[in-house]
Amino acid sequence: MARIPLTFACGLYDRMLALYTGEVQGEGIDLTFLAIDDPRQIFDRMGKNLDFDACEMSSSEVISRYAAGRREMVALPVFPSRVFRHGFITVNRKAVRTPKELAGKRIGVPLYTQTAALFIRGLLQDEYDVDLSGVHWVQGAINSAESHGNPSAPPLLKPVSIEQNTSGRSLSELLETGEIQAILGSGLPVALRTNPDVQRLFPDFHVRELDYYRRTRIFPIMHLVAIRRDLYEKHPFVATSLYKAMTEAEDARSRRFALHVAGHARRTRRDRRDLRRRSLALRRRGQPADAGGARPLHGRAVADQGAHSRRRAVRAGLRAIAQRTHCRCRNKLNKLRVGWDKKPTRAVIAAE
């Protein structure tokens, strides 16, 4: 049986890497992986022209289309992007200091129907009892004086106070000048780095995210995978084949991550063994283990000034070894943590 050619547009996430490299292949399909880093471009092209056979898609757009009777896509329970959004609410501290002070304000948002914006509104209402009914929304790109892509989302079911940003300035600039009092969405304004008045509403967002997950077990879904309905109706097996392939790709990512963690653990044990051996050498010789040609561990020559001086030198050498080893381990751990932050499982791993 000939394999069905299929184009799939998606960001190059770690959990999709095995599909991109061909390590994992879907049964009965010949997958062409189109790596596109800008999700908005994928959403707009799929939403307007169905440019791809399958793609990463905004979950809110798929659901709103379905509710409006536009059922040209079939959604798969595969989630390329899952992100906590507590850290994506920025405010001008001159106007807003607590969540409830957002009520009645002018708030910038890339797109009112954006999944990230939708989740944040629900979070503010459900977790912090914020009344958003009187908010005036200003839509536009966060860091440029343009619109956020060229979406084709269906009209809203209820009237909402929204205006398009036509000021010729970005939402970030409007936040600095106080013309809007907050921004929420999938990105952060550049003013967060340059203006002390622009701050995250929740500076301790990491702690809040972990607490939220422990209480609710919710890991927010941002994007899912959608297939063209005409392709699905012609070749129904494609949905199952894609789902299985993406599950295998995720498993491959988990195996790579486990190997990385195990390698870090082995290196940490090796450093500890090295510390113990060198500490033992110090105790036996009464001097730094790398004395005799190497630089002193504690930064100055070790003078033999009696037993008290030798003991003091040994203690200084031990502290220097411990500090250097700790720094090496800490740097490795920090690199590992950075890797976790780029993955959707960071908060889940930390919470378990």
Q: What is the mean pLDDT of each run of 10 residues along the chain (352 residues)?
A: 91 92 93 94 95 96 91 95 97 96 97 96 96 96 93 86 96 97 96 96 96 96 97 95 94 82 72 73 61 40 44 58 50 39 34 30
C-beta of residue 33 within 8 angstroms of C-beta of residue 20: yes
Same domain, 229 and 343: no
Give the model's pLDDT for residue 168: 95
Same domain, 122 and 214: yes
- Rounded Cα gap, residues 76 and 95, in angstroms: 42
C-beta of residue 76 within 8 angstroms of C-beta of residue 232: no
Give the model's pLDDT for residue 256: 81
Q: What is the largest CA-CA distance in the chain?
A: 90
- Per the listing, tokens 């707009």 go with 44
**Structural domains in the chain (count):** 3
- Rounded Cα gap, residues 53 and 33, in angstroms: 11
Domain with 165, as residue range(s), is 86-219
Q: Write the single-letter amino acid at 144.
A: S
Last residue of a domain, one of 232, 256, 280: 256
Same domain, 264 and 245: no
Its pTM surpasses 0.75: no
Q: Smallest Cα–Cα separation from 223: which of 114, 122, 338, 342? A: 114
Give the model's pLDDT for residue 248: 94
Same domain, 252 and 266: no
User: 269-299 burial by CB neighbour count: b if 16+ within 10 A, else e?
Assistant: eebeeebeebbeebeeebbbbebeeeebbbe
For 156-198, what is each residue's pLDDT tens digit?
888 999 999 999 999 999 999 999 999 999 999 999 999 999 9
Give the model's pLDDT for residue 155: 85
Q: At what angle do helices 39-49 and 59-67 cross, to 10 degrees?
A: 20
Give the model's pLDDT for residue 107: 98
Same domain, 20 and 60: yes
Q: Smallest Cα–Cα separation from 34: which of 54, 58, 62, 59? A: 54
CATH code for position 243: 3.40.190.10
Q: State whether residue 89 is helix, strand or coil.
A: strand
C-beta of residue 282 within 8 angstroms of C-beta of residue 311: no
Give the model's pLDDT for residue 153: 80
Q: State whether residue 54 is helix, strand or coil.
A: strand
Q: Smallest Cα–Cα separation from 205: which of 352, 347, 349, 348? A: 347
> How many helices (DSSP H) and strands (DSSP E) are in the chain?
11, 11
Same domain, 189 and 91: yes
Give the model's pLDDT for residue 304: 39
- Per the listing, tokens 């051996």 go with 277
Give the model's pLDDT for residue 31: 95
